[in-house]
Amino acid sequence: MSLLKVEGMTHYFGGLRAVYNYNLEIEMGQIRGLIGPNGAGKTTIFNLITGMYRPTSGRIVFDGQDIVGLPPHRIAARGIGRTFQNMMLWRHMTVLEHVKLAHYSRIDYGLVGAFLGTPRRHRQEAEIEERSYELLRMMGVDRFAQKVITELPYGAQRRVEIARALATQPKLLLLDEPTAGMNPEEMIEMVDTIRRIHGVLGMAIFLIEHRMRVVMDLCETIQTLNFGEVIAEGTPDEIRNNPVVIEAYLGKEVVT
């Protein structure tokens, strides 16, 4: 059984067909990529999988359960973590608070524990703080733990966002353009980091990227989306040499 199976998913925004007859299967632990020019429908696919929008038609089965119609927090709790193309970080919280808060979506004190501050609760708090530090270390941003998020350089903010997504202990991690706005050196570091967290935590990853180089380095197979439809799917080599892909990118992106 695959971890995620999307079948015949279509989505309209009013009269605009943003995603058409989209299919995807991801196995446990796989890294898969999604590329395509701006406006192709990539982020919309993430928004559909994570319950931000409900597909006009189609099925999404995650970990054996149909998740269409579930609210985003329930889908997150079932094991789909994500980052956003435009970061959604609370401006005034510290880095550590961000990652700690994400952990809470996974635990349940029971009402009594929450009110009384039981030993069990204190123990849980301490564990959460320890785990949060560990994730920040893994992402290479633990030195910023006590800083307010907006004081961090852009690249570090993106790393915190990934740490936050990891705190929900996802079985599937969706990364929307994790190297956006980064210079080539930062891009290479980010690719290394993604490879490392995958090596340590072993979750499946579905990656949207703009830069061919990143998906080519990381992904087992890649889908190319254009005007909401998959126009090519295959290994990095197959995608690199596919004339249909090159055509879709011509004049829009640099194919490197």
What is the Cα–Cα distance from 81 to 19, expressed in whole angstroms? 21
Nearer to ligand ADP, 42 or 171 (CB): 42
Span from 71-79, 85-93, 94-102, 155-163 in contact with Mg ion (CB under 5 A): 85-93
Q: What is the CA radius of gyration of the chain?
A: 19
Per the listing, tokens 């733990």 go with 145
> Residue 243 corresponds to which amino acid?
P
Shortest separation between residue 228's beta carbon and ligand ADP, angstroms: 7
Q: Does 36 bind ligand ADP (CB under 6 A)?
A: yes
What is the Cα–Cα distance from 232 to 217, expressed in whole angstroms? 18
Give CA separation, 102 vs 3, 38, 81, 107, 246, in Å: 22, 30, 10, 10, 40
Contact criterion met (CB below 8 Å) for 31 and 199: no
Q: Crossing angle, helix 95-104 and helix 119-138, to 10 degrees?
A: 120
Nearer to ligand ADP, 38 or 146 (CB): 38
Q: Does 43 bind ligand ADP (CB under 6 A)?
A: yes
Nearer to ligand ADP, 103 or 158 (CB): 158
Q: Which residue is nearest to Mg ion (CB)?
A: 43
Q: Which of 22, 24, 41, 173 binds ligand ADP (CB under 6 A)?
A: 41
The number of residues that bind Mg ion (CB under 5 A) is 3
Q: Which of 21, 85, 221, 242 binds Mg ion (CB under 5 A)?
A: 85
Q: Does 18 bind ligand ADP (CB under 6 A)?
A: yes
Neighbouring residues of 227: CB distance < 8 A, sequence distance ≥ 6: 20, 40, 41
Shortest separation between residue 221's beta carbon and ligand ADP, angstroms: 18
Contact criterion met (CB below 8 Å) for 19 and 228: yes
Q: Which does 90 bind (CB under 5 to 8 A by kind): Mg ion, ligand ADP, none?
A: none
Q: Does 98 bind ligand ADP (CB under 6 A)?
A: no
Binding site for ligand ADP (CB under 6 A): 13, 16, 18, 36, 38-44
